[in-house]
Amino acid sequence: MPELPEVETVRRTLTELIVGKTIESATVSLPRIIQRPDDIKRFEMELIGHRILEIGRRGKFLRIVMDGLVLVSHLRMEGRYGLYDKSDPVEKHTHVIFHFSDGTELRYKDVRQFGTMHLFPAGEEFKSNPLAKLGLEPLDSSFTADAFREAISKRSTKIKPALLNQEYVVGLGNIYVDEALFRAGIHPEVPANELSTDQLDLLYAAILTTLREAVEAGGSSIKSFVNGQGEMGMFQHSFQIYGRKDEPCVKCGHAVEKTVVGGRGTHFCPNCQRPKELINKAPIKRTLSNRSNKSKEVRE
């Protein structure tokens, strides 16, 4: 699933490709993608004649801002946008087409059909779902160490699910949460309210570094993610912990383990990310050769 860096990459690409274009008409062939308004014909009608002014992002949602309208789009598992000429054959799984006045088309393809679109009058989009309850935006100037501590430090849930909760901080998914916790040296199952101020500050810094590096690299290309121009992201080459089960930890050499936290496959180093009760104990001596492999395969 695309996380903040991937959606940010799509946002930047779409900005280059479609800002300034005017929608002549729109065609929806899979009604369930359109969550608002209820009526597909109204969705198609409302878009006619609107010019695209900018592409924004809130968490993992794209905001396609037009004169007077905003389209909020979530790619979910495998949604993708691509710019085509109207004479190009329409590929399978294309569910929504925005026909522009210059003869090009923005096409939305989604094999899994989980993606969503909500159309709002401009400015209204923040007042209702899906954007209304979203938490802190990590790449925004309002995301300070104080704001992060305030959002996280009173939660009694484990830190990993707390970071995945989009009502506290947006944009982080399974991959970047594992990466940030590893970089901060924090065990994914420590209750959020048991983290010290120092640990929360380390985690705050780790989230920023991880996301910034990933955005810089153009997002990850795990599974089928491709940005709007068909370019693959490059960040998967920089993963320090995610997807590295049984490989040596980049910090200490201990085998990386995979477990399940809050129903999600979770990578961590048992030596560098100790639960609280083990923090002052001697380093774990288990090595790659003698460890037993009890990890279960779960969804990513």
Q: Measured from the CB of residue 154, what is the shortest distance to Zn ion in angstroms?
A: 29
Nearest-approach distance from CB 161 to Zn ion, in angstroms: 22
C-alpha 34/C-alpha 2 separation (Å) is 20
Min CB(78)–Zn ion separation in Å: 33
Spatial contact of 271 and 254, defined as CB atoms under 8 Å apart: yes
- In the bound complex, which residue of the shown chain has the CB atom lying closest to Zn ion? 249
Q: Which residues bind Zn ion (CB under 5 A)?
A: 249, 251-252, 254, 269, 271-272
Of 63 and 258, the one with the shorter C-beta distance to Zn ion is 258
Is 2 tagged catalytic? yes
Is residue 254 marked as binding? no
Contact 63, 125 (CB under 8 A): yes
Q: Is 60 a catalytic residue?
A: yes
CB-wise, 148 or 239, nearer to Zn ion? 239
Of 153 and 199, the one with the shorter C-beta distance to Zn ion is 199
The residue among 65 and 269 lying less far from Zn ion, judged by its C-beta, is 269
Residue keyed to tokens 């991937």: 6
112 is in an annotated binding site: yes
Distance (Å, whole) CA 172 – CA 201 = 17
Query: Of 2, 5, 188, 270, which is the active-site residue?
Result: 2
Sign of CA dihedral 71, 55, 84, 111: negative
Per residue in 198-220, is it b (16+ CB within 10 Å) or e — as a string? ebbbbbbebbbebbeebbebbbb
For residue 290, the minimal CB distance to Zn ion (Å) is 17
Return the number of the residue (6 or 178) whose C-beta is nearest Zn ion.
Answer: 178
- Look at phi and psi of residue 66 and say left if phi exceeds 0, alpha if psi is from -120 to 50, else beta: beta
Can you list the positions of beta strands (E) in 61-139? Answer: 61-66, 69-74, 80-85, 94-100, 104-109, 116-121
CB of 291 to Zn ion, least distance (A): 13
155 is in an annotated binding site: yes
In 3D, which of 227, 235, 236 has the Cα closest to residue 15?
227
Q: Rounded to the nearest 5 degrees, what angle is found at the Cα of 89, between the Cα atoms of 86 and 95?
A: 85
Give the phi and the psi of residue 62 in degrees, each rounded to 5: -90, 145
Question: Which residues are tagged catalytic?
Answer: 2-3, 60, 264
Residues annotated within the binding site are: 93, 112, 155
Residues annotated within the binding site for DNA are: 93, 112, 155
